[in-house]
A and B are shown apart, each in its own frame.
Chain A
C-alpha cells in the first residue's frame, strides 16, 4: 500500500524541531532512519500530518568513548554500530546483537535512537540497553534530562519520551575487563523480528558469574529483565543444575503473550532454551 499524504520538513536544528512539535502536537512524527515508520505509513497504521526529518541536525550521530562511558548519538545507524571498533572493544554485546537486526539494507539506514524511541518489544537494542543499564539523553526546549533504561520502557511503544521531547543520545558504561556478554535470538527467518531473544551480561571471575543481567525481547509489551532467573545464577559457578534453576525461575519472570506462530508455552520454552545457551556463552 501507499502512505497517506503528509507534509515533510527537514529540520536544521533542535530548536526548530521543538518549535514544530509545539505547533503540530500529536500530528507530528519525528523521522530518523524511518525503517519502522515508513513501513507503518505504507501499511497506513500511522497517519501523521507532518514528518519532521531530524537527520540533517548536526551532532546527533557518531560513537564517542570518554570517562568509561560510550555515547552513541541517536542518529547513529545500526550498520555504524555493527562496524565500529570502539563498540567491539567497549560494548561487545552491541556488536553481537547488531547482525540480528533486520537485514543489511535496513541496518544501513535505521538508527539506534529510532529503535529506542519506537521501543518495539521484539527489537534488539532496547533489550541490550536494559542489560547494559544504559541512560537515555532526552532533550526539550527547557533543557535535557537522563532516563535509565529501567525507567524508560513503560508500555507497548510507550517510553519516557514526551510529546515535546527528542531523544538525542544513549550513554552506556564501558564493559569492564572481566565482563562477558552474549546475545541469542530465535527467528523464523534470519533478520525477522524475534520470536524470543535474550541479551545477557555477567562478570566472570574465574568461573563465578556475578552481576548477571538477562534482558528478554519478544516476550512482553516491553523488554523484560528476568530478575528471578538472574538471582539463580548470581554468585555461582555455572552447572547444569544452575542453568535448570534459572530456566525454572523464568516462569515467574516472563508471562509471554502468544503471537500468530507461537503459543505462550512455546515462547516460555524457547526462552528457557536460549537462556541455557546464553549462560553457557557467558561461561566460555
Chain B
C-alpha cells in the first residue's frame, strides 16, 4: 500500500493524542484500533446506522463519515468520555431501568444522540425524541423503551428545574 501517512493530533476525551495515520482511516477505526476505545461501534460504515456516533467539537457526527485526519486539532468525545465524566449517568440509569437496550450494539450511539437532544432541546416531545433518534438504528427494542428512557430523563430534569424556580 502506498504510504500517505500523516501525523495527526486529536484531543480525545480531553487528552491530546498524536498518531501517524493513513488518511483513509475514518474516525471510528482510529478510536477503536489506534486508541482501543471500542465503545463506539463500527456498523454500516456508510452513515445509515448511527452506531458510530461521537461528538466532535460539541456536535454529534457520524464517526464513519469523518476521516481521522479531518478531525485534526478538534475535540472528540466518545462514549467512554461521557460515561467516565458522569455526564450521561442519568441517561444510563434510565436506559437500564426501562430496558432500553438488549444486545447493546446501538446503545453508545443512542446515548450520544440522546444526550445531544437533552442538551439542545430540554422540552422535546416524544415526536421530537423520535425525530432526533431517526438516524440511529436499533434492531432489538422496537425503540419504545428507548424513547421512554429519554422522556423519563427529560421530565426529571424539567421537574428539577421547576423546583429550583
Contact = CB atoms under 8 A, between A and B. Distances in A.
Interface residues of A, number: 32
Contacts of A189: 134
Given A53-B70, A103-B134, A109-B66, A5 B22 contact: yes
Contacts of A42: 26, 45-46, 64
Nearest to B22: A5
A242 to B, nearest CB: 32
Contacts of A2: 24, 26, 29, 45
A108 B66 contact: no
A80 to B, nearest CB: 11
Q: Which among A3, A39, A105 has the greatest number of chain B C-beta atoms within 10 A?
A: A105
B86 to A, nearest CB: 23
Contact of A106 (B22, B45, B65, B131): B65
A260 interface: no
Interface in A29-88: 31, 34-35, 38-39, 41-43, 51, 53, 55, 79
B61 interface: yes
Contact of A38 (B29, B50, B66, B113): B66
B64 A108 contact: no
Interface in A95-133: 99, 102-106, 108-109
A108 B47 contact: no
Interface string B37-81: 000000001110010010000011110111101101000000000
B122 interface: no
A103 B50 contact: yes
Contacts of A12: none
B24 A4 contact: yes
A190 interface: yes
A108 B66 CA distance: 12
Given A103-B134, A104-B113, A106-B47, A8 B67 contact: yes
Interface of B: 1-2, 4, 6, 22-24, 26, 29, 45-47, 50, 53, 59-62, 64-67, 69-70, 72, 113, 116, 130-132, 134-136
Given A39-B47, A108-B60, 12 more contacts: A3-B24, A5-B24, A31-B70, A38-B64, A38-B65, A39-B46, A39-B65, A42-B64, A105-B113, A106-B47, A108-B59, A190-B130
14 contacts: A1-B45, A2-B24, A3-B24, A5-B2, A5-B4, A5-B22, A34-B66, A39-B46, A42-B45, A51-B23, A103-B134, A105-B50, A106-B135, A191-B135
